Amino acid sequence: MQCPFCKAPDTRVVDSRLAEDGTQVRRRRECEHCGGRFTTFERAQLTMPNVVKRSGVPEPFREDKLREGIGHAIYKRPVSPEAVDHAVENVMRKARGSGERELPSRQIGEWVMEELRDLDHVAYVRFASIYRAFEDVNAFREEIERLQSQPTAEERRSQLPLLENETPAKRRKNA
């Protein structure tokens, strides 16, 4: 890798470690020419499906757009950046795992709402109000009532499995 300081063509890896729950490799590098040290992160480049907008026009999946939408929903809410990162990763994992070349934006919106429901109920209602285009106060009320009638993330994790061979770890993975 090229040195960012002196532009020498080769650098030496001094240390490598797993980062971000094993999804990245952190490498500490040193330039053999100038002695400068810097850190790089390596992550698998996986292909994301295209997103088909409501108008029917496909566009490339954009993580920054996903992150921005979640950011608007959690604005001034007590949600940690790590929790947002986790939610973004979950949605992206579901999109990649779908095996589809194109996904409707509606499906991605539903996955975002699932993540927000577990993060913060106010953020969930904010996102749902825009995503589902609420037209009046009754639509808000209905969504809040639906949210209150569903089990919390903790309650869902503690429920007994529906299938005999399903373990709590498998259930958490699928949740």
Instruction: With respect to residue 82, please indicate whether it lies within any of the assigned structural domains.
Output: yes
pLDDT tens-digit profile of 7-24? 999 999 999 999 888 889
Does position 126 have pLDDT exceeding 80, yes or no? yes
Model pLDDT, residue 128? 83
Instruction: With respect to residue 69, please indicate whether it lies within any of the assigned structural domains.
Output: yes
Instruction: With respect to residue 112, please indicate whether it lies within any of the assigned structural domains.
Output: yes
Instruction: With respect to residue 155, please indicate whether it lies within any of the assigned structural domains.
Output: yes
Instruction: With respect to residue 1, please indicate whether it lies within any of the assigned structural domains.
Output: no
Query: Against a cut of 0.85, is the pTM above it?
Result: no
Instruction: With respect to residue 144, please indicate whether it lies within any of the assigned structural domains.
Output: yes
Same domain, 39 and 87: no
Torsion of CA 9, 10, 15, 16, to 10 degrees: 70
63: containing domain: 50-174
Does position 169 have pLDDT exceeding 60, yes or no? no
Place of tokens 């993580």: 63
| Cα torsion 10, 14, 15, 20: sign | negative
Model pLDDT, residue 52? 96
Domain total in the chain: 2
Model pLDDT, residue 134? 72
Instruction: With respect to residue 5, please indicate whether it lies within any of the assigned structural domains.
Output: no
